[in-house]
Amino acid sequence: MSEFRDYFVCDSCRNRDFKVLYNFSLRFHKVNFSDDLIYDSLSEEIFQCTQCQKTYTKTEVQEGLADLKRRRKGGVRQGSLFSDM
Ligand SMILES: [Zn+2]
């Protein structure tokens, strides 16, 4: 069986290398009928293209990969099972 690898690439420069940036934040929200604030601490990963510095969220990368999967599946359906015999 042959193996493929599809890469998530930057949509503005086609580069496939990214570095991870971390954001740390506290998210405050009010509780109903009270002046108290409760908070969540969040850490968020941001992926930055090493070439053009464009940033992507984790969700955007996951959606990009899901797209690749859909496209690859389409390719399998179009090709013949016996094409490499
Ligand atoms: Zn880029």
The 10s digit of each residue's pLDDT in 41-66 is 999 999 999 999 999 999 999 999 99
Q: Mention every residue, 6+ apart, whose C-beta is less than 8 A from residue 69.
A: none
CA of 72 to the centre of ligand 1 (A): 23
CA of 25 to the centre of ligand 1 (A): 26
Q: Mention every residue, 6+ apart, whose C-beta is less than 8 A from residue 16.
A: 7, 8, 9, 10
CA of 19 to the centre of ligand 1 (A): 11
CA of 54 to the centre of ligand 1 (A): 5
The rounded distance, in Å, linking the Cα atoms of 46 and 59 is 10
Local confidence band at 75 (pLDDT 50, 70, 90 cut-offs): low
Return the domain boundaries, the chain.
18-78
CA of 82 to the centre of ligand 1 (A): 38
CB 46 within 8 A of CB 22: yes
